[in-house]
Amino acid sequence: MDRSNQTSPLVEFILLGLSAHPKLEKTLFVLILLMYLVILLGNGVLILVTILDSRLHTPMYFFLGNLSFLDICYTTSSVPLILDSFLTPRKTISFSACFGQMFLSFAMGATECVLLGMMAFDRYVAICNPLTYPVVMNKVACGPMAVGSWAAGITNSVVQTSQAVRLPFCGDNVINHFTCEILAVLKLACADISINVISMVVANVIFLGIPVMFIFVSYVFIIATILRIPSGEGRKKAFSTCSAHLTVVVIFYGTILFMYGKPKSKDPLGADRQDLADKLTSLFYGVVTPMLNPIIYSLRNKDVKAAVRNLVSQK
């Protein structure tokens, strides 16, 4: 008999998080809270200087401002829930709140993948075709590119979340995660999820695989162009204009590959340790990476550092 006929539909979920490691929860609460404050401050300052400083009214900093706003939205959709789970003995979340959080996280993640691809194209045109850069990357083009990134991410999230929310959840309601991560939630459905899995695979190819290939090809041409520059100073200057973006890309996609690409342990004890490692890695992906983005762009960019100094001196 179908389980859906035996039990009533779920109205809330329980977030397991790190319940088995209470001492670690207290330590992580302090660390994540501090990192979240750095995310809000660092990305907030970047957004502010890209708006107020006229020297930063260029396509590169326009996309950087979008990336900073995206990181604030992404972390705000999950970090308060994570912090609350560390303090609340019974970590429950309502059905609607769970899927709302899932929608926001999915939308922000897919948007960032597409946006990083747009930023790679910006660097490609700037270095490989500098004479056409003002024509190709003008204000008329940058706006639709940014809007397209957000629209793509939101559309993907609508598709994935709407498919997940229609599933019957009538059995186990314990989510083995800090947040309503879609894979952890789908495991609780008392129905066939093959359509959801196929849809996610297609979405990963479109919103993860294609941007990665686009970024890779762009940087192949960028590096080839830089190597053809005769002077060492010219090569250094050209590479400095894209080094911050390349660093962010490596950290962002490197963490994703580490999360989903490493082999799974078959030993029960090893599986427990791996489960803890997977959760901590997801924290790194969801909190540390957005915190590093403004730091990387600030430390490796003279224009941003000058704009921040001017903002501070004015205040």
pLDDT digits (tens, 9 = 90+) for 211-238: 999 999 999 999 999 999 888 888 888 8
pLDDT attached to residue 161: 93
- For residues 159-174, give the mean pLDDT: 87
pLDDT attached to residue 277: 72
pLDDT category at 75 given cuts 50, 70, 90 is: very high
pLDDT attached to residue 14: 86
- Four-point Cα dihedral 293, 121, 301, 46, nearest 10: -50
pLDDT attached to residue 117: 92
Q: Give the type of residue at 29.
A: F
- For residues 294-307, give the mean pLDDT: 78
Q: Give the type of residue at 200.
A: M
**Mean pLDDT across the chain, nearest whole number?**
84
First and final C-alpha spacing in the chain: 69
- For residues 23-41, give the mean pLDDT: 89
Rounded CA-CA distance 93/209 in Å is 32
- For residues 138-145, give the mean pLDDT: 88
What is the pTM assigned to this prediction? 0.86
